[in-house]
Structure 1
């Protein structure tokens, strides 16, 4: 299984596909992967989420397949978001998911995720929650909601968290403000309705994905 920190280092964007249907999953997934976004999250409050996870995991999970200089299949991390109960973790694993993301920190969900051999990314908002989640075995932290904080808050958390802790800011991230969160020490950002929402065409999603990728690439260039 690919390491989430390694995946974020390659492209620090996590796609949150809330509301996606199984019929949309592969066309939208292909559009995102074409643009270089390789962490795909299907929230469990989407229609038939486990079917969508299975389709995406079968197509894009596992070892990378290269074509024309780009990843055409495999190499992605696919999983579930809005995972609130431990019993859902087993269903994510059965569907081929690799990552379990939550809006909150629930110790039982983290424990179930670790037992299943999946990547645990609980949601936290305070230093107390962040350290408790790490003590429980979280692989990385989702800072949520991002639109309720500033990059200075991310920097303050980064200053006290153990070295190597993965931090993903989610909620309210745009092409214009993502650089501030990355400069503050985030490993990546999660993008939801600004990237995909029900009713968007595949062309809409790919165009918006291209804008986010271009913004992130500009940030990387400025950091060199």
Structure 2
């Protein structure tokens, strides 16, 4: 499936920052029940490769599982080695995108300026992540999309919530990276499922 097809299933990327390997499968199962199809474990979480490996083994045939806060090509290779299929970065590093694409992964790297966006797209990015979105606004996506190639998938990450999803969508957001609004350390699977269902309902209502 392409990134556009994954977003057609559900345009949310659940960011499980701080999740532990002993809870990650139950948390992801709650997300799947709520309708979420893309799950990211940031590399600054406890034992992230263990968690990503567990998710890839359990859900990899039906969910897009990957890593966030990836900083080096070696980390990209490690993520691929445990079955991760998605690279997400907080910053604009074309080398990481090229490494991921060479390994058959999808790449959604971070950008904040048009120059960064174009450099990432040239490297083969499947989507580009506007980060930190709370330091921008929906008008930023609208302006940037006017100069990007048609069909570019722009994903705001940071501060996205049920309340502001409509404004981001109207501006042209293709998907949304959701962190603490969907999971924060200490949340039970039941809490995660409740929050995820509210977010899925918000995007389905548009």
- Paired with 2:126 and 2:28, the residues of 1 have a C-alpha distance of 24
Task: State how far apart, in whole Å, the 1-side matches of 2:4 and 2:156 are.
Answer: 14
Determine if the alignment matches structure 1 residue 216 to structure 2 residue 178: no
> Could you tell me how far 1:150 is from its partner in structure 2?
1.2
Secondary structure at 1:96 match in 2 = coil
Residue number in structure 1 paired with 2:12: 13
Alignment equivalent of 1:76, drawn from 59, 63, 86: 63
Q: Distance in 1 between matches of 2:60 and 2:154?
A: 22
- The residue that corresponds to 1:70 in the other structure is none
Deviations 1:44-68 (A, max 9, x none): 0001111111111111112xxxxxx
In the TM superposition, what is the alpha-carbon distance from 1:92 to its structure 2 partner? 0.5
Structure 2 unpaired stretches of 5+: none
| Among candidates 108, 113, 138, match of residue 100 of structure 2 | 113
- Structure 1: segments with no counterpart, 5+ residues: 63-74, 220-224
Q: Which runs of 4+ in 1 moved over 4 A?
A: none
In structure 1, which of residues 159, 166, 171 is the aligned counterpart of residue 153 of structure 2? 166
TM-score, normalised relative to structure 2: 0.98
Kept in 2: contact 1:14–1:38 (CA 8 A): yes
Q: CA RMSD in A?
A: 0.9
Partners of 1:200 and 1:35 in 2: how far apart? 15
- How many residue pairs match? The answer is 206
Partner of 1:222: none
SS in 2 for 1:160: coil
Q: Which of 74, 81, 104 matches 1:94?
A: 81
